[in-house]
Structure 1
């Protein structure tokens, strides 16, 4: 018994099988991750090395050449790019796209460790920087309150940060700006000399009573417990009560020779929101976390914190999930609109609701079943996979229409619905398989390209392949079964009514026009071929002539942009902050800007980053690119001492 006959004779059985795919597909739909673009295996690493006081020549000879020689033996390495600057070396490693980036990173770290002992002592520890989408925060938050910056920082670092880290999907939270608190011990040099003491003695005495050490284990009949010795200072008053023995054996109170105070530590970073001092929070997600669900979990924690700490204000400056959610919802909406439009067109052309219902059931069933395979192979909902689903609607419609049209033809021969469904499907079975395999052959190679383009299009191509194969299965099973149940016993399904009379007139007029055009084309073959050839050549020339531009990915207006500022190595925090303050003043003068969050010194004293949020696209007359172009022009003309990058 072939599969089509089984489906027609065992409708409950085939319905159960199809419903199994549908239920699992719906389960997968609610568990598939959401991203803007597919995850990429980015085979690039940067190695940054600081060498204080070194010239370009010294950096090249003492740092770059030894590292290059050792790194050149790494597996899958394709290219090494080295840049020597005063006091700094940067080495960029490019691997092929088949390389496992985790293993490559470990191998690079081992190679650096092997050569580290041969580098000058003044060289800082080399840092390996991986270009990973998850290395960027998914949300940036500014914390404000009517308290001192040190109080805000303390609350943020000890409570708010820990609470946000509890949110599902969050991997890390970093705190910027604010002020740390420290205990300062101001020693009177004269008294130090009088009591025959040294600064080293004071430092050692303080360290002796500030310990956190393992102290063994305690065993009982039922359990084992680890014991730790915690002898740490909890307040400056505990330090004030210390005594220091001098050479004569006398115990000298610390307060006799020094003043112990608690104060703000030296400023090592700044954070501002719209020009006002603040404390910033940057939230990062796990690599396999659903960004939309993670952001929802973060927002739930923020809402709870806001109710618990009403004196504090939590301003969300950047939220990657907003744009992704809107983009994917728009794509899903377009997908649904495409299915509904297809149903309307089929209703008008097939002249009956029964055939339309069969097609409208077959298409969503194929798509929902595709979710199961997407989830099983680790795909996500992103612009590429959803684009593939939208594109394959036409393929799915073809499978259903071809089957129904042939079944309809067999019904007109006077056959029963069951016989017409089976014979109509079997008659075009090989043709349908060949048509489906052609689609598979076209899109399957796209999925196995190994370069960056292949990584982007892998989910696009395979999603179409999965949906097409499911569509073939549905066209052999569910569609003929529905046709055998939905089609009436009449041999003809001629539609009647005023609306169909009007549609018939439109169709007759269109057919007549088409016949006239076809007759003219056959009579003027040279003109038709010449016109098509000219249009073909003109179309081909659009790319090389630059009339149609080319870019790797289309630009998108996300109503936000970021600015990175980097001064030469060695510039102090105050110089960097002065440059950022000038740039910040210009950005805040832009009428479309709602928030500008500046982080200065978060990475190093000569670097800063600004996150700028704009009003929505419908609320402004300028695009984000016009605004960023104007900002670049300002930076070029007024901030020549800094490298400013806007993205």
Structure 2
């Protein structure tokens, strides 16, 4: 290790090349990182959905769910299977163990489902799919003064088509209105007049509104596919369905005996924004999409849309990129404040040039981390930014210890190069011990199972990578810079100009700072240390008592515990519960 440190100290050009490499590749690595609100995780869920019209929950359970669950037993890689049976449908959720390939397990589950040979007659084909991971990005409301819900829904569909055409946006959901349906209101007197029953109308609609294949016809030259495409999606398309043919050959059409109209279901589902009827549009991001980029594109679209239309407008309801940008700003602020504090305090007690090179290690450590972060699927999210904020306070410790020790060796009369080598070698054992203990403490997050491990594991990766890069910076880059710095040169009391004059004036501050540090060392720390060494049992007992008080406070409830801290929200939610059967108009009023 001594030869490596000595080589880089004597060949400062090599150190500068390393620094330039960290800067260039670090910037590229930082720009290439995607952003998300929480760390990205691979899907571990496989869903099996069954639809059996007219079946009770018990029939779904006995005829479908239990048969599939029996075939899933014994498949290696499955952690847990849960199911729910409802009227007309059922669902099975399969959770995969960590370390197993989700695509391979999807094939295994499909094979297990296919081995069931006796599903009920009339059941629709089963749907087996893996649950895709997506996270909310931005949500906005479409509203207008006295604009009907049907018009808002059509406009929302147009907005959805526009957003899907933007690169980086694929997942869009529209909500805030009931399901659409076609209402056929039959006139009973008219039915009696034509001698038509309700069943005849139902059969006429069912037999006419179809989309199916009827085989094919092969000839010597071509093959024709027979297909009946008569499915209708709007009420006016059903008006001319023949219901009955009279004796004189006249056809009774559906519009002759019923009023047909498109309408929303009677489910009381509505969304309001600023007391105006609205439709909510939510954009979510997949693992391959960037949250901040998608949110910026949506906000640009919203601004352009509001400029083009005056009767309706789009308003952002929730934007997760705001929180992410705030965390990034907080990180930048903390980094700047950290470097300034290092510069100020080291300039007071040590040397201004030494303080500069110690603070220089902060951005180098982060840029080095960005080079490798992408290889561990790290994204810019609230947890990774939290890890960066944590590590800021740890980074400068090693640099301060090394810089101070090098300066001490120089003051003892050694040459700058020799002082840099000896000063660094002397503190390598305690610095390595401090780094290793910190790495071990944060590495425990990597062994946590489930969602908690996926989330906080990214904090560990950030802290570990940054500390490892800072170790390289502190042991190789920092000593080389200090060895060739003017901080390790004989003091020249000749009057200076410009920045050199500032450094000269700071020496006066250094003298006062040195006197203050010596006073605290001799008058405060030394007496306490002597007393502690002379009364070892008493000193040890004080710390044991403090530990017992801590455990007692936690057990007695004085120090409360919680899995996550309680923080105040920026939203207020009000839930109104009314008696069953209350009219939607009363609830709304």
* TM-score calculated relative to the size of structure 2: 0.77
Which is further off, 291-300 or 375-384? Answer: 375-384
Give the superposition deviation at 1:145: 4.0
Distance 1:86 1:399 in 2: 65
**Aligned partners of 2:37 and 2:320 also within 8 Å:** no
Give the superposition deviation at 1:133: 6.2
Q: Which residue of structure 2 aligns with residue 396 of structure 1?
A: 395
Q: Which residue of structure 1 aligns with residue 516 of structure 2?
A: 506
**Aligned partners of 2:78 and 2:96 also within 8 Å:** yes
Give the superposition deviation at 1:282: 2.4
Give the superposition deviation at 1:359: 0.6
Give the superposition deviation at 1:345: 2.6
After superposition, residues 519-598 of structure 1 pair within 5 angstroms as 519-560=530-571, 578=583, 582=587
Which is further off, 288-297 or 496-505? Answer: 496-505
Q: In structure 2, the residue corresponding to 1:313 is in which secondary structure?
A: strand
Give the superposition deviation at 1:562: 6.7
Which is further off, 123-132 or 415-424? Answer: 123-132
Q: Which residue of structure 2 aligns with residue 18 of structure 1?
A: 19
Offset from partner CA, 1:179-208 (integer Å, 9 cap, x none):
7585969795468669xxx65896589659
Distance 2:53 2:228 in 1: 40
After superposition, residues 362-381 of structure 1 pair within 5 angstroms as 362-381=361-380
Q: Which residue of structure 1 aligns with residue 296 of structure 2?
A: 296
Q: Which residue of structure 2 aligns with residue 614 of structure 1?
A: none
Structure 2 gap ranges (5+): 217-226, 493-503
Give the superposition deviation at 1:272: 1.9
Q: Is 1:150 matched with 2:150?
A: yes
Offset from partner CA, 1:94-134 (integer Å, 9 cap, x none):
5433344555455445544544x645568787788988762
Q: Which residue of structure 1 aligns with residue 458 of structure 2?
A: 459
Q: Which residue of structure 2 aligns with residue 641 of structure 1?
A: none
Q: In structure 2, the residue corresponding to 1:281 is in which secondary structure?
A: strand
Distance 1:507 1:3 in 2: 34
Give the superposition deviation at 1:401: 2.5
**Aligned partners of 1:143 and 1:279 also within 8 Å:** yes
After superposition, residues 603-642 of structure 1 pair within 5 angstroms as none
Are the structure 2 counterparts of residues 541 and 236 from structure 1 closer, same or farther at C-alpha, using a change threshold of 3 Å? closer
Q: Which residue of structure 1 aligns with residue 309 of structure 2?
A: 309
Are the structure 2 counterparts of residues 129 and 271 from structure 1 closer, same or farther at C-alpha, using a change threshold of 3 Å? farther
Give the superposition deviation at 1:21: 1.7
Are the structure 2 counterparts of residues 470 and 82 from structure 1 closer, same or farther at C-alpha, using a change threshold of 3 Å? same
Are the structure 2 counterparts of residues 207 and 14 from structure 1 closer, same or farther at C-alpha, using a change threshold of 3 Å? same
Distance 2:441 2:360 in 1: 26
Are the structure 2 counterparts of residues 53 and 99 from structure 1 closer, same or farther at C-alpha, using a change threshold of 3 Å? same
Distance 1:538 1:43 in 2: 44
Give the superposition deviation at 1:379: 0.3
Number of residue pairs aligned between Structure 1 and Structure 2: 559
Distance 2:184 2:311 in 1: 30
Give the superposition deviation at 1:503: 2.9
Distance 2:574 2:137 in 1: 14
Distance 2:229 2:70 in 1: 48
Q: Is 1:481 matched with 2:491?
A: no
Q: In structure 2, the residue corresponding to 1:315 is in which secondary structure?
A: strand
Are the structure 2 counterparts of residues 449 and 206 from structure 1 closer, same or farther at C-alpha, using a change threshold of 3 Å? closer
Alignment equivalent of 1:518, drawn from 513, 529, 532: 529
Are the structure 2 counterparts of residues 245 and 451 from structure 1 closer, same or farther at C-alpha, using a change threshold of 3 Å? closer
Are the structure 2 counterparts of residues 111 and 235 from structure 1 closer, same or farther at C-alpha, using a change threshold of 3 Å? closer
Which is further off, 453-462 or 356-365? Answer: 453-462
Distance 1:545 1:113 in 2: 57
Are the structure 2 counterparts of residues 74 and 547 from structure 1 closer, same or farther at C-alpha, using a change threshold of 3 Å? farther
**Aligned partners of 1:338 and 1:390 also within 8 Å:** no
Are the structure 2 counterparts of residues 245 and 46 from structure 1 closer, same or farther at C-alpha, using a change threshold of 3 Å? closer
Distance 2:110 2:402 in 1: 60
Give the superposition deviation at 1:479: 1.2
**Aligned partners of 1:243 and 1:251 also within 8 Å:** no
Distance 1:539 1:360 in 2: 36
Q: Which residue of structure 1 aligns with residue 406 of structure 2?
A: 407
Offset from partner CA, 1:585-609 (integer Å, 9 cap, x none):
7xxxxxxxxxxxxxxxxxxxxxxxx
Q: Which residue of structure 1 aligns with residue 79 of structure 2?
A: 78
Q: Which residue of structure 2 aligns with residue 470 of structure 1?
A: 469
Are the structure 2 counterparts of residues 260 and 229 from structure 1 closer, same or farther at C-alpha, using a change threshold of 3 Å? same
Q: In structure 1, the residue corresponding to 2:170 is in which secondary structure?
A: strand
**Aligned partners of 1:417 and 1:488 also within 8 Å:** no
Q: Is 1:175 matched with 2:174?
A: yes
Give the superposition deviation at 1:41: 5.2
Which is further off, 405-414 or 56-65? Answer: 56-65
Give the superposition deviation at 1:79: 3.9
Distance 2:181 2:145 in 1: 18
Distance 1:11 1:330 in 2: 35
Q: Which residue of structure 1 aligns with residue 320 of structure 2?
A: 320
**Aligned partners of 1:411 and 1:491 also within 8 Å:** no
Q: Which residue of structure 1 aligns with residue 271 of structure 2?
A: 272
Offset from partner CA, 1:461-497 (integer Å, 9 cap, x none):
2222211221222223321221122234635699876
Give the superposition deviation at 1:9: 4.1
Structure 1 gap ranges (5+): 216-227, 568-573, 586-647
Q: In structure 1, the residue corresponding to 2:529 is in which secondary structure?
A: helix
Q: Which residue of structure 1 aligns with residue 70 of structure 2?
A: 69
Q: Which residue of structure 1 aligns with residue 224 of structure 2?
A: none
Distance 1:546 1:100 in 2: 45
Give the superposition deviation at 1:558: 3.6
Offset from partner CA, 1:55-114 (integer Å, 9 cap, x none):
887666555543432232333233445677888867665543334455545544554454
Q: In structure 1, the residue corresponding to 2:380 is in which secondary structure?
A: coil
Distance 1:27 1:300 in 2: 26
Distance 1:86 1:16 in 2: 69
Q: In structure 1, the residue corresponding to 2:565 is in which secondary structure?
A: coil
Are the structure 2 counterparts of residues 249 and 10 from structure 1 closer, same or farther at C-alpha, using a change threshold of 3 Å? farther
Q: In structure 2, the residue corresponding to 1:98 is in which secondary structure?
A: coil
